[in-house]
Amino acid sequence: MIKKIISQLKIFFQLIKTDLIIFKKDALGGIIDTIIWVSILLFVTSHLYPKLGMPLNYGVIYLLGTIVSCSLFETESNVVSIISDIEGNNNISYQATLPIKSNFVFLKNAISSACKAMTLAIVIIPLGKIFLWQRLNLSLFSPIKFLIMFVTIGIFAGIFSIFMSSLVKGMKQIDIVWFRVLFPLWMLGGTFFPWYAVYKLSPKFAYLFLLNPVIYASEGMRVAILGQQNYINFWLCLSAMWFSVFIFGFFGIKRLKKRLDFI
């Protein structure tokens, strides 16, 4: 029994390794794209917006939201990859024939996606420090909390892409992923604002926003870097994120297995 589990894990990690080797070829280009994207956003939010009356620290607020954005945007890319594979080569079905549990095939995809998203997002904090300098106070930075939340956000994005892939019927419906799901979650997920700002405006709306798992990712990342004050409790954010991972993972894998006739 133990040998069988070890054998399956070896195949599981080998599949992840294969995905990352393929990603390695495009990683540099993805990192360059992220640097350009984040640099322009930080220039606008930290230097132009204050001239228009926005608070001086708005660039800091938005910076930490871009880490979440980077992972969330990778979700759409992964959904496209999964759906195009199902409609094309169908490698995912081939992988299910390997001596490995079918659940591992989907988890492999989610973890590979998480690794890709984290690789692209890792440059964001150094860029933020360059653009914001003294405005980005790292005296309360918690490396442990940052690492835990950073990895959790990546895994959530990977699992969520599995769930979204189970809902999309084909490439013709791929725009639904962005316009009907990712965009609302992103805009209302605290990327541009802290949750307590919404609470001051309207407690009813603020509590409604708590149904959005992205709000916990944004708040948790801000706590890890800026400290607990004025943000949702870090451990509550972490618990909510992992609850979302299990819920979306359970239903996403179940639906995809049914769609692909996996046993």
Give the tens place of pLDDT for each residue, 167-185.
888 788 888 888 888 899 9
Most confident option among 42-46, 84-88, 235-239: 235-239
The backbone torsions φ and ψ at residue 179, rounded to the nearest 5 degrees and listed phi first, read: -70, -35
Residues in the chain: 263
Q: Using one digit for the tens of pLDDT, what is the confidence trace for 71-101?
A: 888 888 888 888 887 887 767 767 767 777 8
- CB-hemisphere CA count at 13 Å for 257? 17
d(CA 143, CA 100): 35
* Number of other residues whose CB lies within 10 A of the CB of residue 90: 12
pLDDT level of residue 257 (50, 70, 90 thresholds):
confident
Q: How far is CA 188 from the centre of its chain?
A: 15
How crowded is residue 140: how many other Cβ atoms within 10 Å of its Cβ?
12
Contact 243, 220 (CB under 8 A): no
